[in-house]
Structure 1
C-alpha cells in the first residue's frame, strides 16, 4: 500500500487560538524526522515522530495523513482509518486522505462505507483538477479563471481556507478590493493569526495606495509566518515605494526638479502591478516635466497616468494645462470636458470655457502672428511691425514677379492691413483678444475692394508708399 507522504498545506487549516509559530516549527521538525524514517522503511519510528508532530500541532491534515500511511504499511488499518478520516475532516479537499480512507474501508471489508469514501474521492479528484487548472492560470496571470476554479472547488470544500485565500488574492489582483477584503476578513474572524489572510488584507490596501496601513498588515503576516515569501516581497516593495515617493515629493518642494524626476522614475520601476500608486507617480513626474518646460513629456506622463486610472482628475487637469500651453486646444477642451462631467465645479466650468474660447480663437487668423508681434505688444510695437510687414509685402516690391507670386504677396499685404486695423483699435483688439466674433465690425462685409482701400489708407497714413498699385 505505497501511498506516499504529504507535505503540509501551504496554508494550514488552523482554528482560533492555535499553535504559536515556535510550536509549529517544532511540529515540522518532528514531521521531517518521521519522513526520514518512513523513507528508510522504519515505520515504527516514523509513527512515533508523526505522533509527536500531531501532539504539537493537532490541526494539520498532512500530519494525520502521513501517520495513516505509516499505519497502513504496518497493517493497522483500523487505526489508519481514524487518521485518514481526521485528515479529511481538517481539509475536505485533501485527496490523499480520501484515497487512504477508501483503501482502509476496502481492507476492513466495509463495502458501504467504502462506496461513500469512493464518492468522496471522486469529489476530491474533481477539486484537485480545479486546483491544478488554477495553479496554471495563476502563472499565466489569468486571475478571472482562477476565481472561477476556486468558486467551483469551494462548492465541494466550502471550509477550505487555502481556496478562499487564493480566490481573495486573485480578486485583489483584479482590482476587486471590497470582495477580496470580505473573504480575508471572514477568515481572520475565525483565525486572527492566519498569515495568508493578513497578507491579502495588506495587498488590498497596498493596491489602493494606502501604503502605510498595508505595511502594518505585511509586518503582522511576517510575524505569524517569517518565511511568507509574498508578504516579504510586498512589504519590501511597499516600503521602497513609500520612501521613493516621499523623497521625490521633498525634492519637488525644494525646487530640485531634476532630482524629483529621477526619484519618481525609480519609484515607477519598483512594482508595475501597483496601478493607483503608479498613476500618481506618473502625474507627479508630469508636473515635474511641466516645470522643466518639457511639455510633450509631461503630456505623455499624464496620458500614462489616466491609462492606469481613468478617474484620476488631477492627471486630466495637468494634461489639459499642458495642451493649453502647447496650443493643442481641441485636446485641452476634451480633457476639461471630461473633468467637468465628473466634477461640476465653478472652477472646472471656467477652465472649460477658457479652453473653448482659445480653441475658437485658434481657428481664426492669428493677427499677432501675421504682424510678427507678441500678444502683449505695445501700440508702438504694433505700428512698427505693421510698417515693416507692409513694406515687405507691398505690391510695388513684387511688380516684376510672376503672377502667382504677385497674387500671394497681395494676399499677405491685405492680411497685414487687416491685422493692423484690428490691433490698432483698442475696442476691436479687446474683442479679438476675448474671442468674440468680429464680422459685425464690417471687416468681411465690404468686399475685396473695400479691404484693399482700407489697407492702402492705413499704409499712406503710416507715411510709406503713396500710390495704390493694386489692380
Structure 2
C-alpha cells in the first residue's frame, strides 16, 4: 500500500522532528507509533520510535525530578534531551534545574538562548527573572517577571515568583534600615523571616550567601559570636570567595578568643586569592598580631611592676628579679631540669624586657601589643626611613 512507500516514511519522520522541535514529545511518539503500526517491517521507523520514546521518557522524568526538587538529577535528564533537540521547552526546563542548584551563570545563557529564538516566549523571561532573583538583583527580577506576565497573564510560575520577589525586596530593605538604625536584633528577625520564606534555598546562589552574610554581620554587632560564625560558614559553604563572610568569621573568632583559628584559615586564603584583597590581608595581619600578642611574655608581670612604672623603677626591679632567676641559683641538685629551663627562659626574657621597657619607642610599641620580633622590625623600618630622609636632605642641599 501507499503507507509503505518511502515518501510516506519520510513524512512520518519529518512530522516527528517538527513536533520534537516545539517540545511536543508525546505527539511525536504517537505519530511514529502510528507509522510503525502501518509499516510494521520498516526498520527506520522502528529505530525512530525507540529514539523518540527515550526523548519523551527523559523529558517526563526530568519534569518529575524538577517538581520534586531533585535538581541535579533533572539537570542530567534534560541534558540527555538537549543532545537531541534545542526546543525552547527543554532549554527552559534545563535552565530551571540550573537555577534550582543555584548555578545561575549557565541558566542565564540558556534563558537568553530562548528569548533570542522567540522573544514572545514568557517562560524564557520567567527563568531569566529567577536567575536575577537568585543573584540578589531584585529590581531586575521584578521587571522580568512583569514582562513574562505581560506576554502570558496565566504564567503561574511567574505570578508566584513575583509575589515572593516583592516580599524579599520589601523585607530586605526594612532589615537594612534596622541595621542602619542599629536595631540589630530587629534586623536578625527580618533576615531570618526572609531566609525561612525562601526555603528550599540553593546554597550556591548569591542571594543565599548574601542573606546569611548580612545576618552574620547583625549577630556580630550583638556579640553573638557563635551565631555569626555559623551564618558566615553557611555563606562560605555556598561561595568560598566572599570577602565579607570571611571578615565576619575572623571577627567572630576574635570575639571568641579564637585568633589561632582565624589565623589558620586566613593563612590558607593568603596563599591563594586572599593576598590580593585588602580586607582579607588586614584581617590576616590582625589575627597574626593577636596570636603573637597572646604568646609574647608579659614583661610587666615578669618584673613585678605596674604598666605605669618609671624607667628607674624598672631598672631597680630588674636587679631584684635577675637575682631570683639567675642560673647560678638553680645549679644545685635541688632543682629539676624543667625548673632550670624555666629560670633560664625568665632570665633571658628579663634582659629582653629591660631593653624594650627602657626605650620609649620600643615600650610604646610593646604597650600597643607588638611582640619583640615585630618591635625589632618596626625599629629597623624607622631607622631606614630616617636614613633615607637624611640622604634626601643632603642631596637637596648639596646636589
Please say whether Structure 1 and Structure 2 have the same fold, judged by a TM-score greater than 0.5. yes
Partner of residue 135, structure 1: 63
Aligned counterpart, 2:173? 246
Shift of 1:245: 1.4
Q: CA deviation at 1:191?
A: 1.5
Residue in structure 2 matched with residue 322 of structure 1 by the alignment: 252
Given that 2:134 and 2:208 are in contact with CA atoms closer than 8 Å, whether structure 1 keeps it comes out as: no
Deviations 1:242-262 (A, max 9, x none): 211111111111122222222
**Residues 222, 232 of structure 1: 8 Å contact kept:** yes
C-alpha separation in 1, matches of 2:31 and 2:202: 42
**CA offsets per residue over residues 360-418 of structure 1, 9 Å max, x none?**
221234457889999xx5449xx9xxx9xx9xxx9xxxxxxxx9xxx99xx99x98x96
Q: Which residue of 2 aligns with 1:312?
A: 242
- Count of aligned pairs: 332
Determine the C-alpha separation between the residues in 2 that align with 1:213 and 1:207.
Answer: 11
| Map 1:246-325 → 2, pairs under 5 A | 246-271=173-198, 272-273=201-202, 275-325=205-255
Q: Does residue 1:204 correspond to 2:131, yes or no?
A: yes
* Structure 1 Cα separation of the partners of residues 309 and 86 of structure 2: 84
Contact 2:247 2:280 in 1 (8 A): no
8 A contact 1:199–1:218 mirrored in 2: yes
CA 1:155–1:299: 2 relative to 1, 3 Å: closer
Q: TM-score, normalised by structure 2?
A: 0.68
The answer for unaligned runs of 5 or more in structure 2 is 1-10, 325-333, 377-399
Question: 2:12, 2:35 within 8 Å by CA — same for their partners in 1?
Answer: no
Structure 1 242/161 Cα, relative in aligned 2: closer, same or farther at 3 Å? same
> Is contact 2:12–2:31 with CA below 8 Å preserved after alignment?
no
In structure 1, the residue matched to 2:392 is none
Cα distance in structure 2, aligned partners of 1:349 and 1:154: 45
Q: How far apart in 1 are the matches of 2:134 and 2:120?
A: 22
Question: Cα offset for 1:313?
Answer: 0.4
Label 1:113 to 1:89 Cα distance change in 2 as closer, same or farther (>3 A): farther
Q: CA deviation at 1:310?
A: 1.0
Describe the SS at the equivalent of 1:192.
Answer: coil
Q: Is the 8 A contact 1:91 1:160 kept in 2?
A: yes
Q: How high is the TM-score relative to the length of structure 1?
A: 0.58
CA-to-aligned-CA distance 1:72-96 (integer Å, 9 cap, x gap): xxxxxxxxxx999868633465334
Could you say which structure has the higher helix fraction?
2
RMSD between aligned alpha carbons?
4.3
Match of 1:95 in 2: 26
Distance in 2 (CA, whole Å) between partners of 1:197 and 1:372 is 75
Is the CA contact (8 Å cut-off) linking 1:95 and 1:121 kept in structure 2? no
Distance in 1, matches of 2:168 and 2:272, equals 32
3-state DSSP class of the match of 1:269? helix
Relative to 1, partners in 2 of residues 1:340 and 1:326: Cα closer, same or farther, differing over 3 Å? farther
Alpha-carbon displacement from aligned partner over 1:159-209 (angstroms, at most 9, x marks no partner): 432222211211233343332222222221221121211111111122122
User: What displacement does 1:430 show?
Assistant: 3.8
Per the TM alignment, residue 118 of structure 1 is displaced from its structure 2 partner at its CA by 4.1
What residue is the counterpart of 1:358 in the other structure?
Answer: 290
Supply the distance in 1 between the matched residues of 2:301 and 2:62 (Cα, whole angstroms). Answer: 64
| Partner Cα distance (2:109, 2:357) in 1 | 70
Equivalent-residue separation in structure 2 for 1:278 and 1:370 (angstroms): 51
CA distance in 2 between counterparts of 1:373 and 1:314 reads 42
Cα 1:341–1:159 change in 2 (3 A) is closer
